[in-house]
Amino acid sequence: MVIQTTNAAASDAALAAYEEAGRTQLERIRPERTDNEPSPSHQSKNALKHQINRGHLYAEDRITLSPEALREIRELKMRDQEVRSHELAHSSVGGQYAGSPTYAYTRGPDGRLYAVGGEVDIDTSTVPGDPEATLEKAEKIVSSALAPANPSAADRNIAARANQMAAEARSQMMREAQEEVVGDEINGKQQESRFTGVSGIYPFSSPPPADLTGPASINLLV
């Protein structure tokens, strides 16, 4: 029993020495933090403050907005949605003739950016030598300009210009159609003259009837 007790005590002492050596080794590996180095919690607070200043995060416990500021934010949100819907309508209906929307922004009291204006570039040029394609393009431009629920004055101006372009394309198409008809008539007359001869037209007619007014001769057989 004494031997067993002695062995157990030696084992406990060895285990304690091993644990102490492990703690010492860990302290050697782990770098010590200096007094000037911010603690992890302090670093998190600085990162949070940086995000708030850049408008990426809103913290109720650090920023208190006035009722006027909150009302302004609500109005900016509504304006942002209205502008984006307006320009998206132009772009989607305009198809290949319309560009991508671009926006003008303003920063709200909460640090966020809100769209307050926008525009979509649209090609309003004619298709050279093709009035039919020009007409189709003009109608597409009109649809794109008037696509939003509330077209602006600039939108209506573009639609008016496109309507004028469409009218000119229709006029050109009518002139070309008339010229084609006249050309067909001329070609038809030239074709007819080749069959009627040089001195005129010779219609088919029946021979004149026999002259029944003169005296009739009767031969009598004797």
pLDDT tens track for 156-176: 999 999 999 999 999 999 999
Core vs surface per residue 49-81: b (16+ CB within 10 A) or e? eeebeeeeeeeeeeeeeeeeeeebbeebeeebe
Least confident of 44-53, 135-144, 164-173, 195-204: 195-204
pLDDT at 70 over 80: yes
Q: What is the mean pLDDT of residues 54-74?
A: 73
Q: List beta partners, residue 102.
A: 119
Considering only residues 186 and 107, tell me which one the structure prediction assigns the higher pLDDT: 107
Residue 13's pLDDT is: 55
Say what the pTM is. Answer: 0.55
pLDDT at 185 over 80: no
pLDDT at 16 over 60: no
Distance CA 204, CA 222 (A): 46
pLDDT at 202 over 50: no
At residue 182 the predicted structure's pLDDT band, cuts being 50, 70 and 90, is: confident
Across the chain, mean pLDDT equals 75
At residue 51 the predicted structure's pLDDT band, cuts being 50, 70 and 90, is: low
Question: Which residues fall within 8 angstroms of residue 80, CB to CB, at 6 or more apart?
Answer: 114, 115, 116
Task: Tokens for 76, please give them.
Answer: 């900016």
Provide the CB-side half-sphere exposure for 142 (13 A, CA).
14
At residue 180 the predicted structure's pLDDT band, cuts being 50, 70 and 90, is: confident
Considering only residues 192 and 202, tell me which one the structure prediction assigns the higher pLDDT: 192
pLDDT at 7 over 50: no
Residue 45's pLDDT is: 55
